[in-house]
């Protein structure tokens, strides 16, 4: 199991209270050092599966304290090893009980930070979308599946879609706006590039790489739902797997590029089939992401946020 290090800045007069509180928490060890005459830095080593419950406890207990700050770090290794440390903790503090929220996933805060970082709208993101769209279009024109898959490797569209799912799960309007803006920008740019290429290069609507993206069947639903689940699982497990991002891109970008190429080539009526496939995949990916986040136990911290999240999740599922 991976380890995490919590660094907590607290006023000096709260040091004893924090240390006393940590005695009843499922942590491996903790220590402190003085930053100034008025503030103390308390460091807590614990397993990743216990991180969320300890973070929630500390935030609920001390977030109203002035100068309170928590920083969460990933730990590559610790000596003595985790198994030895846990045995020592049980010997020294037998009263510590296993957390009810003992879930084998990253904490809510880590998940939010990872997905939020992958949702930045900048020139690099837009540039990668442009390049991925051009390469995908060339792969479609040449009926070269390898080139199409290569385009998916550089398409940065997994983050915004997972962010939409997470924002619906948490009821986070700020993240939802950011994810929607980034996702919409990527879709619009990819569409414009594809239309331009379809206008410049003659489009044959009967080639296989276009025909397969103008048909919608049960397999497409299964693929998009599976891709959405895989993306959410990857983020909640802390796995940085580029292949999962490729699968998300495969489900979304080729149908969108095909739609743009056909619009640019003048096949307006036939292009709606590709648009339908893209929208279906987009909805299924996000729906599967929401369901997977819920199954993995991703919930807001406070009860009023939980009520808002429940409403937003219902709305998202209905949409």
pLDDT in tens, 203-229: 888 888 888 888 888 888 898 899 889
- State pLDDT tens for residues 113-127: 888 888 999 999 999
Most confident of 31-45, 47-61, 123-137: 123-137
How high is the pLDDT of residue 163? Answer: 92
Strand ranges of the sheet holding 39-47, from the earlier edge strand across to the other edge: 29-34, 39-47, 3-11, 69-75
Looking at residue 297, its pLDDT comes to: 85
How close are the terminal C-alpha atoms of the chain, in Å? Answer: 38
Summarize pLDDT for 222-276 with one digit per residue, the tens.
988 998 898 888 888 877 666 677 778 888 899 999 999 999 988 888 889 999 9
pTM metric for this prediction: 0.80
Give 204 or 181, the one with higher predicted confidence: 181
Task: Provide the percentage of residues in the chain whose pLDDT is more than 70.
Answer: 90
Q: Output the pLDDT for position 318.
A: 81
The answer to whether the beta carbons of residues 156 and 128 sit under 8 Å apart is: yes
Nearest-CA neighbor of 143 among 203, 188, 97, 189?
A: 203
- Tokens representing 171 are 């009821």
CA dihedral 32, 105, 55, 159 (to 10 degrees): 110
Residue 288 has pLDDT above 60, yes or no: yes
Residue 86 has pLDDT above 70, yes or no: no
For residue 53, the model assigns a pLDDT of 87
Query: With 90 as the cut, is the pLDDT of residue 171 above it?
Result: no
Res. 141: pLDDT tops 70: yes
Is residue 73's pLDDT more than 80? yes
Token duo for residue 74: 């990933």
118 three-class SS: coil
pLDDT category at 194 given cuts 50, 70, 90 is: very high
For residue 59, what pLDDT is reported?
87
Rounded mean pLDDT, 36-62: 87
| DSSP conformational letter for 102 | -
Average confidence score pLDDT of the chain: 84
Domains of the chain: 3-104 (3.30.70.120), 109-318 (no CATH)
Asked if 143 and 207 count as a contact pair (C-beta separation under 8 A), the reply is yes
- Enumerate long-range contacts of 144-152, CB under 8 Å, 24 or more apart: 145/209, 148/209, 148/250, 148/254, 149/246, 149/250, 151/249, 151/253, 152/246, 152/247, 152/249, 152/250, 152/253, 152/254
């Amino acid at each position: 199991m991976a380890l995490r290090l919590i660094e907590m800045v607290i006023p000096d007069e709260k040091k004893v209270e924090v240390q006393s509180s940590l005695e009843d928490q499922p942590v491996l060890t903790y220590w402190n050092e003085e930053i100034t005459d008025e503030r103390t830095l308390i460091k807590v080593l614990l397993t990743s599966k216990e991180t969320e419950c300890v973070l929630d406890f500390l935030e609920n207990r001390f977030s109203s304290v002035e100068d309170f700050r928590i920083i969460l770090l990933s730990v590559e290794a610790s000596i003595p090893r985790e198994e030895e440390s846990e045995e020592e903790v049980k010997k020294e503090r037998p009263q510590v009980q296993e957390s009810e929220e003992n879930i084998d996933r990253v904490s809510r805060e880590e998940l939010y930070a990872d997905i939020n970082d992958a949702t930045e709208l900048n020139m690099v993101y837009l540039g990668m979308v442009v390049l991925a769209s051009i390469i995908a279009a060339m792969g479609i024109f040449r009926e070269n599946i390898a080139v199409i898959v290569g385009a998916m490797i550089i398409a940065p569209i997994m983050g915004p879609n997972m962010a939409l799912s997470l924002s619906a799960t948490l009821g986070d309007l700020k993240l939802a706006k950011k994810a929607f803006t980034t996702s919409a920008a990527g879709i619009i740019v990819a569409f414009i590039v594809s239309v331009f290429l379809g206008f410049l290069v003659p489009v044959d609507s009967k080639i296989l790489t276009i025909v397969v993206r103008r048909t919608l069947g049960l397999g497409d639903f299964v693929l998009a739902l599976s891709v959405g689940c895989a993306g959410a699982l990857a983020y909640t497990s802390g796995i940085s797997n580029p292949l999962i991002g490729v699968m998300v891109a495969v489900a979304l970008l080729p149908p969108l590029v095909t739609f743009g190429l056909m619009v640019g080539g003048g096949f307006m009526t036939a292009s709606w089939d590709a648009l339908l496939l893209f929208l279906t995949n987009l909805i299924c990916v996000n729906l599967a992401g929401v369901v997977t986040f819920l199954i993995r136990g991703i919930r807001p911290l406070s009860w009023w946020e939980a009520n808002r999240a429940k409403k937003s999740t219902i709305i998202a599922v209905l949409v």
